[in-house]
Amino acid sequence: MAAKSIISRPVYGTLSPQPGKHHLFIADAEGALAISDMAAGAPAGFFDGAEIVFIPGPDGKHVDALEALKPGQFHQAPSFASVLPRLKQTLSNAHMGLRLYLAGTEGLIGQAMQVALEAGIDHTSMQTEHRGSLARRMQCVHCKGITENVTTQPATCSHCGLLLLVRDHYSRRLAAFQGVCINAEDRSEIPPMEEAFP
């Protein structure tokens, strides 16, 4: 966990059933476990009208557990990008009483929250729970490119190739951590890469 002094860092809680007319769950990989844990304490019939959008990891784990909750709708997608049109449509048609539950990696939570806020969903109608990888979504401050699933410190920008220090500063607007050139003064200085965000 990041130091409490870094105020830009998101703070995640634990999913819990909330009163509402419509419940929309968006999760990736281990985020499914947060939904399953919440379901254990949910009232009977809670998932009857719920919609679950799930992006499983490459191993496809947890699909059966989510389907066993018997949600009103269940959608499985290969990536967040493939979910985006459906999510935007759902949120643009949402009515008062929607409850949004986001669970999984920081990248998924940040991007889904960004879309929800742009659609006018009040932040008090959203719950988040981080589960799984600590890999970061990073924006290069030099070329503005986004690199997904960064696990090393420093990291190479996938767009311009600069070697970047992945800062703890998090941009909610971009749903990404900031990366700055670590060897701007002398490009021949190449610090060793270490796994920092497994």
Task: Check whether 135 has a pLDDT greater than 90.
Answer: yes
- Of 44, 42, 49, nearest to 72 by C-alpha is 49
**Are both 29 and 71 inside the same structural domain?**
yes
Domain of 34: which CATH number? 3.40.50.80
Q: What is the SS3 assignment for 171? A: strand
Tokens standing for 88? 């935007």
Residue 138 lies in a domain: yes
- The band of 1, judged by pLDDT with boundaries at 50, 70 and 90, is very low
Residue 15 lies in a domain: no
**Of the candidates 75, 108, 128, which is a domain's last residue?**
128
Residue 24 lies in a domain: yes
Cβ(65)–Cβ(40) under 8 Å? no
For 57-84, what is the mean pLDDT? 94
In angstroms, the CA 81 to CA 193 distance is: 29
**Are both 29 and 96 inside the same structural domain?**
yes
In angstroms, the CA 83 to CA 149 distance is: 18
**Are both 26 and 120 inside the same structural domain?**
yes
Task: Check whether 84 has a pLDDT greater than 90.
Answer: yes
- The band of 20, judged by pLDDT with boundaries at 50, 70 and 90, is confident
- The band of 5, judged by pLDDT with boundaries at 50, 70 and 90, is low
**Are both 139 and 159 inside the same structural domain?**
yes
**Are both 112 and 144 inside the same structural domain?**
no
> How much is the mean pLDDT over the chain?
93
Residue 107 lies in a domain: yes
The pLDDT tens digits of the residues spanning 96-130 come to: 889 999 999 999 999 999 999 999 998 888 999 99
Q: How many domains does the chain have?
A: 2
Domain of residue 140 covers: 134-193
